[in-house]
Structure 1
């Protein structure tokens, strides 16, 4: 039998191209495709991956972990009256991740928060309803490291000097304080019926979320601003028709933390409903807003800010809130999907 050299060369060339494309993709993206082949990657995750080239990924990785030529970029605290980090964990009297840890809010703060939809009821999501809010652009641009790289870097309070040295951060700096605070939040105990985990890589976030949902047939969804309005100020949003309730009564929510590389605070919460709303701002801004409604708040701190804003007591009514544009909600797919 003779060899068809042109055909063999063509096959080898195609194989070489396929291998090159495979090598150019970062390890986190390859892991996603292997574990979740039927799950679309949300923008909140895809924006944190490097897909241009291996060299660029290596360069960005060196900048993230500290190469002696400057400090890593850490999300600044405070954005024009709205702070995703604070509203997502740690503002006085309100902690979206631990539900009520913190000191009480002042009357002035309470009046400020009542001006917009930090918390709301399920009935407030009906078509035609209006809510005041702001969906700022993400400023936390820290990107994912491959799991092996992330695991090689300490992530514990008893090794803070080593962590600061690794990232070329001075122990007395704001960056060091942010690193310390994030690690402490990650290591703090959760509340009853909450399973929490800080994912230091995309691979570990996928593993935690799928294990808690008990399936790899999942949806991963993030809030997205589909069309920016004329201004970046607070808007009055109208809820448009097409409210979608996501599957399951157990949800995994992952919030992006302030850290030199991408770290997500994830927690699996029972008795929770997840929705996707279409919102339209008064200046034309369009948002696909992912919303979480906590059906059982009986274990929350009675001083939780939501109870003061909505004038309700723990365990009496479901309380809802938007997920920020850098957060991810994981739910099982509908059986028909």
Structure 2
């Protein structure tokens, strides 16, 4: 079950990258921590098709029956027409949220910005800071270079990730995440456009299946070195300030 949950989390984090890689096999989804050095050039898609919709106000969000038992109604409320595979991922994610805690990991589905911040503060304390990947308008950044100024955001301590599940009236799957380092990474695209990306490095991969995509892509064995990926645009990382 733990391995299945990790795979679900990675799927949510890198869904857009997988799709881009399927169109272009030279495009990366995962990389090693040592590759975040200034001057390193990589082909990677950070851009998601986000329409900029804001989360619902708490009062309205609370009126929506966000539960796996009422999935069709949830999808209708949020104007979603997912593929069968995407619908299955969303349903499984909601079920994970409903179960609350698994082996010490807390999970929560936030349907409003207030509820997301409340969850983060309940786990990390009142003084928290949120980070997300920011991309210059109009940028595609299919090929970019890491610029000087890489900064460590946290070093394996308390950490919460909130993955954006929907674009219309966004819903976020939030969960605590241990054994993880996060970085703020300045990038510059080949066309001169810029981005400030959040990189997530998983420190303990010992339970990962060696045949899974992340380890296959970076060509390492489970539990040997940290495996990293960039946080897709629209997802949010929370850390103590």
The match for 2:129 is: 219
Q: Deviations over 1:68-88 (max 9, x none)?
A: xxxxxxxxxxxxxxxxxxxxx
Contact 2:71 2:91 in 1 (8 A): no
List gaps (5 residues or longer) in structure 2.
13-17
Find 2:66's aligned residue among 155, 158, 176: 155
Asked if 1:196 corresponds to 2:93, the answer is no
Cα distance in structure 1, aligned partners of 2:167 and 2:92: 12
Alignment of 1:39-50 (within 5 A): none
Pair 1:98–1:112, CA change in 2 (3 A)? closer
Shift of 1:316: 1.3
More strand, by proportion: 2
Pair 1:256–1:125, CA change in 2 (3 A)? same
Pair 1:158–1:124, CA change in 2 (3 A)? same
Contact 1:276 1:290 in 2 (8 A): yes
The match for 1:240 is: 147
Shift of 1:265: 0.9
Cα distance in structure 2, aligned partners of 1:244 and 1:296: 21
Q: Deviations over 1:209-237 (max 9, x none)?
A: 12222x221211111113645xx4x5321
Contact 1:179 1:259 in 2 (8 A): no
Find 1:318's aligned residue among 208, 226, 232: 226
Asked if 1:286 corresponds to 2:197, the answer is no
Contact 2:164 2:234 in 1 (8 A): yes
Cα distance in structure 1, aligned partners of 2:72 and 2:27: 41
- TM-score, structure 1 as length reference: 0.58
SS in structure 1 of the partner of residue 225 of structure 2: coil
Aligned residues: 226
Cα distance in structure 1, aligned partners of 2:109 and 2:67: 11
SS in structure 2 of the partner of residue 220 of structure 1: strand
Q: Deviations over 1:185-231 (max 9, x none)?
A: 22136875533221111111111112222x221211111113645xx
- TM-score, structure 2 as length reference: 0.79
The match for 2:35 is: 124
